[in-house]
Amino acid sequence: MQKKKRASKTDWEKVDSISEREIKYSEIPELNKRFWKEAELVMPENKTKVTIRLDNDVINWFKSHGKGYQTKINTVLKSYIQAQS
């Protein structure tokens, strides 16, 4: 099965036409000592590698939506768990 590429929503012609001087950095916070002093390191959750059998149409649907299909499946399962609580 060949993967479909999703069209970018970025207007790359516009991006390429902007000069360095036109880029506004005012909304980007400065990474100063205070930033790093208050920064919190958030480690990703540990994951367990498993083998699971899923219907072909389920896998194909997730794969057809681009990269990260396993992460998306995980997110859907987490959402289901939260809905059951």
pLDDT digit string (tens) for 21-59? Answer: 898 888 888 889 998 899 898 888 899 999 999 999 999
At residue 22, the 3 state secondary structure works out as helix
Measured between alpha carbons, how far is 75 from 80 in angstroms, rounded to an integer?
A: 9
What are the distances in angstroms from CA 85 to CA 41, 42, 46, 76?
28, 25, 22, 15
**Number of helical (H) and strand (E) elements in the chain, helices listed first:** 4, 0
Query: Could you tell me the pTM of the whole model?
Result: 0.50
At residue 10, the 3 state secondary structure works out as coil
Per-residue pLDDT at 84: 92
